[in-house]
């Protein structure tokens, strides 16, 4: 037998010798058969345990020749969507109607959106490649910039709220880092934002400014942006917006005035 993690041969001669000895001294053939059966089960259980421990680990970079990086990226995002739908429809920890009603969306509209999201995910580029595929499996969404960098090769964008995030002086350096990492959209319920605000402060202009009046319009724009990118990372200081965004599959992060922290409504 072979140990898949540590390819050493397991020798069974000692155990077989004991069984042979028992055959000569014992008249209980059923006991002998039981011993053989139990031994076989132990070998199978050990083999299965090794397979379980080595599942999706130590994946060679050569596996990328067969699209492994894309497969793992798709797997990761489908798991993310599964968590959302589990909270809504299995654990029922979220009253989805409370979020759909202000947007004038039906449950059917929501399921259509999430179904299309899953279809979109499976169309990730086959050219997406990470040298070490294990990194995708081990990645944690809790780390904002490392997660985005890991997805280099896919169509990724960052959405920042304006008041409370972009305007926060503590966020200044992080804003420029966002600009250097991916296309940055400003999405806000503040209808007065212009490029002049960035020019006056010597900040790099964002890729696009979505300045509108009202909470509902802001959320609707976030949902529309989600349709255009493989991954959309959204940072806001108000959890009420993050809740809507999370339910529609965005990668959501809370700015607490000091750090960008992963936001989720997942209860487990």
- Per residue in 124-148, pLDDT (tens digit) is 999 999 988 888 888 878 899 999 9
Average pLDDT of the chain to the nearest whole number: 87
> Which residue has tokens 């959501």?
252
Q: Where are the domains of the chain?
A: 13-53, 69-262
Q: Would you say residue 2 has pLDDT above 50? A: no
Rounded to an integer, what distance in angstroms lies between the CA atom of residue 124 and that of residue 120? 7
- Buried b or exposed e, range 4-29, using 16+ CB within 10 angstroms: eeeeeeeeeeeeeeeeeeeeeeeeee
Interacting residues of 100 by C-beta distance below 8 A, sequence separation 6+: 106, 107, 109, 110
Q: Tell me, what's the pLDDT at 48?
A: 59
Predicted TM-score (pTM) of the model is: 0.80
Q: Please, what CATH class does the domain formed by 69-262 belong to?
A: alpha beta
**Percent of the chain whose predicted confidence (pLDDT) is above 70:** 84
pLDDT tens figures, 53-79: 567 778 888 998 999 999 999 999 999
Dihedral over Cα of 88, 92, 94, 98: its sign:
positive
């Amino acid at each position: 037998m072979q140990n898949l993690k540590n390819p050493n041969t397991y020798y069974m001669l000692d155990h077989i010798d004991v069984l042979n000895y028992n055959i000569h001294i014992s008249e209980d053939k059923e006991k002998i058969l039981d011993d053989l059966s139990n031994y076989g089960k132990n070998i199978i259980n050990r083999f299965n345990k090794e397979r379980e421990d080595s599942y999706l680990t130590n994946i060679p970079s050569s596996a990328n020749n067969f699209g492994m990086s894309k497969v793992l990226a798709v797997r990761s995002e489908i798991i993310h969507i599964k968590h959302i739908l589990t909270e809504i429809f299995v654990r029922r920890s979220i009253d989805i109607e409370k979020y759909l009603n202000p947007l004038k969306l039906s449950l059917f509209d929501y399921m259509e959106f999430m179904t299309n999201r899953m279809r979109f995910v499976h169309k990730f580029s086959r050219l997406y490649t990470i040298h070490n595929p294990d990194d995708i499996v081990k990645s944690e969404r809790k780390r904002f910039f490392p997660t985005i960098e890991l997805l280099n090769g896919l169509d990724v964008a960052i959405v920042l709220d304006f008041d409370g995030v972009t305007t926060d002086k503590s966020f200044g350096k992080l804003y420029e880092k966002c600009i250097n990492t991916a296309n940055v959209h400003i999405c806000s319920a503040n209808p007065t934002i212009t490029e002049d605000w960035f020019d006056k402060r010597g900040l790099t202009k964002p890729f696009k400014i979505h300045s509108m009046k009202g909470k509902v319009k802001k959320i609707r724009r976030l949902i529309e942006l989600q349709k255009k990118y493989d991954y959309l990372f959204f940072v806001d200081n108000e959890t009420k917006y993050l809740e809507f965004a999370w339910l529609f599959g965005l990668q959501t992060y809370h700015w607490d005035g000091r750090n960008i922290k992963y936001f989720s409504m997942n209860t487990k």
